Amino acid sequence: MINNIENSIQKAQSECSRTGLRLTDKRCKVLKILLQAEEPLSAYDIVDQFKSSYAESLSAMSAYRMLDFLIHANFVHKLETSNQYLACSHICCAHEHELPQFLICDQCHTVKEIGLRKQLLKELKGSIENSGFVLSSQQIELHGICKSCLSKQAETNKNL
Ligand SMILES: [Zn+2]
Ligand SMILES: [Zn+2]
Ligand SMILES: [Zn+2]
């Protein structure tokens, strides 16, 4: 896991120097917090963790600004329905980033990021637009129970 985090940071750094963005020390620290987090965090969670991990204070205002930067660079995503943030699962990937779709576990609160095929999205958008509805966000956030919670549940049921 730690190795994975280091890899992601390195990849983010090289991606930034390639595209002329500046991944400052503070931005990098915010990204690291999100990479280490097991569930999505609010901006205030990030401010708290920044303080406890780095003994440095971060205002909510600058946290929002750094998050905007990280979202723009596609290293971080924002869950619109809960106003929480999570690191992109594909920072180390070479493939093109697809439109993210999030599967949110209502039990352990972990979020799995999966890509939605462009064709599927086109069809979805078409049928939404046909009904006269205008989308403000194309991000899809679905709630349910993850695989590991499901198998834990099955395990408990067996022992009853
Ligand atoms: Zn992503
Ligand atoms: Zn990937
Ligand atoms: Zn779960």
Ligand nearest to the CA of 106: 3
Query: Which ligand approaches the C-alpha of residue 96 most closely?
Result: 2
Residue 104 bridge partners (DSSP): 111, 143
Q: Report the share of the chain in percent with pLDDT over 90.
A: 76
Residue with tokens 């985090």: 5
Q: Where do the domains of the chain lie, and which CATH numbers do they carry?
A: 2-87 (1.10.10.10), 99-158 (3.30.1490.190)
Closest ligand to C-alpha of residue 34 is 1
pTM above 0.85, yes or no: yes
Name every residue whose Cβ is closer than 8 Å to that of residue 104 and which is 6 or more positions away in sequence.
79, 82, 111, 141, 142, 143, 144
Look at residues 104, 100, 15, 155 and name the one whose alpha carbon lies nearest to residue 23. 15
Q: What is the pLDDT of residues 109-118, one digit of tens each?
A: 999 999 888 8
Alpha carbons within 13 angstroms on the beta-carbon side of residue 66 total 25
Ligand 3 center from residue 84 Cα (angstroms) = 17
Q: Express each pLDDT in 3-57 by its tens digit.
A: 789 999 999 999 999 999 999 999 999 999 999 999 999 999 999 999 999 999 9
pLDDT of residue 2: 57
